[in-house]
């Protein structure tokens, strides 16, 4: 080796490359972990959103079912009202209305016997 010539260390040995390779792998794995963390976070948000939508859909289904049941109940109630009115009308046709009979004023309920005595006295 003479004068100005620098010594060429030659290609890097495996021992000098291992730490660099380890650092590169570490950086690469950290970036991959960050990317995965972001993906997991986005997926969590999406799942939470979907859960909310599913709840809303379930509630809407329940509301529709309840509305259907309410229509059925209203329909049945209307039929019962008609039957009751018809029965009342039939029963009233056989009633007698007597005007001029005095009612009890002592605050007690009139019994069947009391009413019968009152009517017998009139006729």
| Burial track 5-33 (b if 16+ CB lie within 10 A, e otherwise) | eeeeeeeeeeeeeeeeeeeeeeeeeeeee
Q: How far apart are CA 54 and CA 59, in angstroms?
A: 9
φ/ψ of 2, rounded to 5, equals: -120, 145
To the question of pTM greater than 0.85 for the whole model, the response is no
Give the model confidence (pLDDT) of 95-117 as tens digits.
878 787 777 777 778 888 888 88
Structure tokens given for 19: 């730490």
Q: Where are the alpha helices (DSSP H) in 4-109?
A: 14-93
Q: How far apart are CA 80 and CA 87, in angstroms?
A: 10
Q: In the prediction, which pLDDT does 84 show?
A: 94
Of 14-23, 40-49, 83-92, give the lowest mean pLDDT range.
14-23
Q: Is 70 exceeded by the pLDDT of residue 120?
A: yes
């Amino acid at each position: 080796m003479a004068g100005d010539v620098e010594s060429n260390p030659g290609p890097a040995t495996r021992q000098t490359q291992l730490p660099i390779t380890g650092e590169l792998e570490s950086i690469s794995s950290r970036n991959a972990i960050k990317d995965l963390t972001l993906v997991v976070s986005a997926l969590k948000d999406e799942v939470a959103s979907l859960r909310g939508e599913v709840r809303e859909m379930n509630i809407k289904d329940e509301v529709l079912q309840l509305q259907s049941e309410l229509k059925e109940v209203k329909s049945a109630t209307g039929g019962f009202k008609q039957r009751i009115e018809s029965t009342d009308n039939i029963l009233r046709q056989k009633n007698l209305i007597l005007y001029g009979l005095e009612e009890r004023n002592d605050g007690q309920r009139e019994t069947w016997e009391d009413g019968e005595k009152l009517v017998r006295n009139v006729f």
